[in-house]
Amino acid sequence: MLSIRNLHASVAGKPILRGINLEVKKGEVHAIMGPNGSGKSTLANVLAGRESYEVTQGEVFYRNSNLFALSTEERACEGIFLAFQYPVEIPGVSNIYLLKAAVNARRKHQGMSEMSAVDFLKMVREKIKLVEMKEEFLHRAVNEGFSGGEKKRNEILQMAVIEPTLAVLDETDSGLDIDALKIVANGVNSLRNEDRAFIVITHYQRLLDYIVPDFVHVLAEGKVVKSGGKELALELEKQGYKWIEKEPAAELRV
Amino acid sequence: MSAAVDRYLALQKELVLPGRGLSWIDALRNEGAHHFKDVGFPTMRDEDWRHTNVRPIQKREFTLGNSAQDELDNDSLSKSALTGLDAYRVVFVDGRYCKALSSLDGLPGGVTVESLAAAVAADTDEVRETLGSIAPKHRSGFIALNTAFVDDGLYLHVDDDCVVDKPIELVFFSTDTAEQLIQPRNLFIFGNRSSVQIIEHYVCGQGSVYFTNAVSELLVQDSAVLQHTKLQEEGDKAFHVGGVFMHLQAGAQVVSNNIALGSLIGRTDLQVALKAEGASCDLNGVYFANGRQHIDNFTQVDHEKPACKSNEYYKGVLNDRARAVFRGRVVVHQDAQHTDAQQQNKNLLLSADAEVDTKPQLEIYADDVKCSHGATVGQLDEAAIFYLRSRAINEATARSLLTYAFAADLISRFSIPAIRSRVESVLSSKLFGGSQMEQLV
Ligand SMILES: Nc1ncnc2c1ncn2[C@@H]1O[C@H](COP(=O)(O)OP(=O)(O)OP(=O)(O)O)[C@@H](O)[C@H]1O
Ligand SMILES: [Mg+2]
């Protein structure tokens, strides 16, 4: 589904990603871990198409076509979803409006007609139950005045409503209490199927107890320095990142 | 450029203006003429006009003394009508009251609507005493110029306790007679405990070069409730200078909506004097400008007596090379203890070439007061645009959505639905060239 080949990217002229290789197939869940500043969010933003991140080298193929040929909104229409590490507050735009616009933009892209107001509301009401949010959140401005945890849940609500093909979750577990963590995991697991894939960026092994990954990768200084199965996360939890950094860089193809 | 001033003064002598020969109106006009002769047109050296250059107005030779028109091709008038507005309508064509085009059927008996020309000629005590007593005589050459030519406009009197069920819309329609100066002069008296909604609506036909220099004086008596909306939609080559001056007596409550959408150079002076205890005003203002438009709002609230409230909130969106000026002056006089005065001005610049000068100005001479003010100038939040785009919303829609969101809280303050939808559709067409916004709202 996603094939990242020797990806280099810079921010404000400073190289951040320095040769990333990663293969993600349909149905898989990949966890990405790594120290602060290693480039995890940069990778997520490059995949979503943020223009301030300049791709200097390498290629990314999404469903066999060149990802970089698509604008941010086209990528979203094609099923890529990013749950932001820091969700943005948008005063004056209601959550429900955003959800509706997002759903209808994708439907239009797929040549489908707009969803009727009744069907849409019914669908959103089901999804909001899944993330255990109160309905009043639908009518509040997007993320405005939401607590940290509420913002993260709102990202999952959006994901559940949009039903992406490839979801990248950037530290959606950070700042969540244990109940919220389970809810977020539940949101992901309920979408999990053989046609979708997830890239879950996290610092905590704990999340991976609930969202069991097929692969775990460690990013350091803009490269994948180690890849493995879910046991790798446990090992990292015990030993930290130091032991990997000492090892020669392993660019494992999965 | 006193030649321009002299030309207008010579014209003033020639014209036979209504009520000529009545000593009080002659004196009022002469006072205006003298003052205009003294001060002339404002220049950018005048503190109150520092950011607005009126030379383009000054250097044109506008004509005065338009004849009355009872007929108008109704198309051009209906084009400018506010869709869905259920209101009494008083129409002025090139500044002259036009009874045939007005519709006042069903107007409550306690309301007198008349042309100011007729009211002046009728020489009543009320008109004699009130006309010219509310607009500050020495505020600017433009008021003086209007006063020198006091001619036609609206005279409205609302009896005590009279509640008017629908808004009264005054349509100031300018035909396409090029290079004319239209100087409406309006006098409003709202009786004790009356309740009225007024819309002053400035529109034009095709949009030639003309100049509107309007003055409205409003006396809002004890516990009267007034909503006054000025909707300035002059043509895109037109010049508009308009003064709205209000005196509020005890317990009077005014909501002023000042909406500037049209004109090449547009300036509104809005001055509210809270003259007795417990008077309050909400001043809402919005301006959208594009191209090379220049929109200036000069507001002043005088807290003269204790326990009055004022709350001012102005927002502007500017695109292209447009320029806006906001000046918010609040004067809390010595007597005015327990004043509550709030003021905010927020601006959104959609282009790097757009510019705004915003200046709050608080002068406080009382000690027990609650006052605050703030001004911001910003751009669209790129992080928010990316966020929306990552949710499949295209860039143009994301930008218009965020712009709409910026203005939405202000627009929602306009309680008349037809006004809200006009403002929304102008926002969409002026700033995004089309229909996009309609899907959003
Ligand atoms: N706009 C920017 N300007 C300059 N440097 C930036 C910018 N954005 C990111 N960086 C730098 O790029 C590096 C990678 O940042 P990134 O956010 O991708 O790290 P991360 O792995 O997600 O870290 P964390 O675990 O703390 O979220 C950091 O050193 C960061 O300071
Ligand atoms: Mg990060």
Tell me the per-residue pLDDT of B148-194, one tens digit each, with 9 for 90 and over: 999 999 999 999 999 999 999 999 999 877 799 999 999 999 999 99
User: Could you tell me if residue B339 is inside a domain?
Assistant: no
Ligand nearest to the CA of A85: 2
Give the 3-state secondary structure of residue B175.
coil
Looking at the structure, do residues B265 and B411 belong to the same domain, yes or no?
A: no
> pLDDT at position A32, please?
96
- CA neighbor of B238 nearest in space, from B173, B297, B286: B173
Quote the pLDDT of residue A233. Answer: 81
- Domain holding B407, by residue range, is 381-441
pLDDT band of residue B2 (cuts 50, 70, 90) is: confident
As a whole number of angstroms, the distance between CA B305 and CA B278 comes to: 8
Say how far apart CA B392 and CA A104 lie, in whole Å. Answer: 9
With a cut of 80, say whether residue A248 has pLDDT above it: no
Q: At what angle do helices B23-39 and B2-14 cross, to 10 degrees?
A: 170
Q: Are A44 and A16 in contact (CB under 8 A)?
A: no
Residues of A in contact with B408 (CB under 8 A): 92
- Say if the Cβ atoms of B392 and A93 lie within 8 Å: no
- Give residue A34's Cα distance to chain centre: 15
- Let me know whether B270 and B385 are in one domain: no
Indicate whether B37 and B174 sit together in one domain: yes
**Is residue B245 over pLDDT 80?**
yes
Cβ(A80)–Cβ(A27) below 8 Å: no
Per-residue pLDDT, averaged over A4-31, amounts to 96
Would you tell me how many other CB atoms lie within 10 Å of the CB of residue A23?
16
pLDDT of residue B218: 98
Q: Please name the residues between 58 and 77 in chain A that touch chain B, using a CB distance below 8 Å.
A: 71-73, 75-77
What is the pLDDT of chain B when averaged over all its residues? 93
Q: Is the pLDDT of residue A92 over 90?
A: no
The rounded distance, in Å, linking the Cα atoms of B15 and B174 is 20
- What six digits make up the tokens of B403? 């712009």
Final residue of a structural domain among B241, B276, B311 = B276
How close is the Cα of A33 to the center of ligand 2, in Å?
10
State mean pLDDT over B102-106: 95
Q: What is the pLDDT of residue B429?
A: 85
Residue B437 pLDDT: 44
Residue B440 pLDDT level (bands cut at 50, 70, 90): very low
Concatenating the DSSP letter of every residue in B31-67 gives HHHHHHHHH-S--TTSGGGTT---HHHHTS--B--PP
Looking at the fold, whether B269 and B393 belong to one and the same domain comes out as no
Residues B417 and B271 in one domain: no
Number of domains in chain B: 2
Is B393's CB within 8 Å of A49's CB?
no
User: Which pLDDT belongs to residue B435?
Assistant: 47
- Provide the pLDDT for residue B74: 67
Percent of chain B exceeding pLDDT 70 equals 96
Average pLDDT of B220-225? Answer: 98
Does the structure show a pLDDT above 80 at B47? yes
The closest residue, in CA terms, to atom 29 on ligand 1 is A37
Q: Does B45 touch chain A (CB under 8 A)?
A: no
Among candidates B281, B340, B343, B342, which has minimal Cα distance to B307? B340
Helix A117-130, helix A95-109: angle, nearest 10: 110
Given A88, A90, A162, which is nearest B405 (Cβ)?
A: A90
Same domain? B401 vs B271:
no
For residue B90, pLDDT over 60 is answered with: yes
Which ligand 1 atom minimizes the distance to the CA of A203? Answer: 25
Least confident stretch, A91-95, A127-131, B1-5? B1-5
B287 strand-pairing partners: B260, B316
Q: Which of B259, B276, B293 is the last residue of a domain?
A: B276
Mean pLDDT of B296-311: 98
Which of B239-253, B299-313, B424-438 shows the lowest per-residue confidence on average (mean pLDDT)? B424-438
**Claim to verify: residue B387 and residue B239 sit in the same structural domain:** no
Interface touch B388/A84, C-beta < 8 Å: no
For residue range A110-146, what is the model confidence (pLDDT) as tens digits?
Answer: 999 999 999 999 999 999 998 889 999 999 999 999 9
Query: CB-based contact (8 Å) between A11 and chain B?
Result: no
Residue B371 counted as domain residue? no
Indicate the CATH number for domain A2-245.
3.40.50.300
CB B167 within 8 A of CB B136: no
Q: Which of A87, A93, A106 sits opposite B401 (nearest CB)?
A: A93
Return the pLDDT at B55: 95
Percent share of chain A, pLDDT over 90: 78
Question: So what's the pLDDT on residue B433?
Answer: 63
Q: Do residues B282 and B311 touch, judged by C-beta distance below 8 A? A: yes
Q: B317 lies in a domain?
A: no
Determine how many CB atoms are found less than 10 A away from the CB of residue B130: 19
- Asked if B269 and B385 sit in the same domain, the reply is no
pLDDT in the model for residue A246:
55
Examine residue B357 and state whether it is found in any structural domain, yes or no.
no
Does A168 contact chain B (CB < 8 Å)? no
Least confident range from B12-16, B20-24, B115-119, B131-135: namely B12-16
Give SS3 for B23.
helix
Whether the pLDDT of residue B438 is over 50: the answer is: no
What value does the mean pLDDT take over residues B77-103? Answer: 91
Residue ranges of B 389-418 with Cβ closer than 8 A to chain A? 389-395, 397, 401-402, 404-406, 408-409
- In angstroms, what separates the C-alpha of B404 from chain A's closest C-alpha? 8
The candidate with the shortest Cα–Cα distance to B244, out of B220, B265, B272, B263, is: B272
- Cα(A35) to ligand 1 centroid in Å equals 11
**Nearest CA, atom 19, ligand 1:** A37
- A52-87 pLDDT, tens digit per residue, is 999 999 999 999 999 999 999 999 999 999 999 999
Q: Is residue B199 part of a domain?
A: yes
User: What does the alpha-carbon distance between residue B234 and residue B171 come to, in Å, rounded to a whole number?
Assistant: 11
Inspect the interface and report whether the beta carbons of B384 and A88 lie closer than 8 Å.
yes
B392 belongs to a structural domain: yes
For the segment B368-410, what is each residue's pLDDT rounded down to a tens digit? Answer: 999 999 999 999 999 999 999 999 999 999 999 999 999 999 9
More confident residue, A151 or B70: A151
pLDDT bin (cut points 50, 70, 90) of residue A217 is: very high
Give the end of a domain, one of B276, B310, B345. Answer: B276
Task: Give the pLDDT confidence score for residue A40 in this predicted structure.
Answer: 96
In this prediction, residue B81 carries a pLDDT of 87
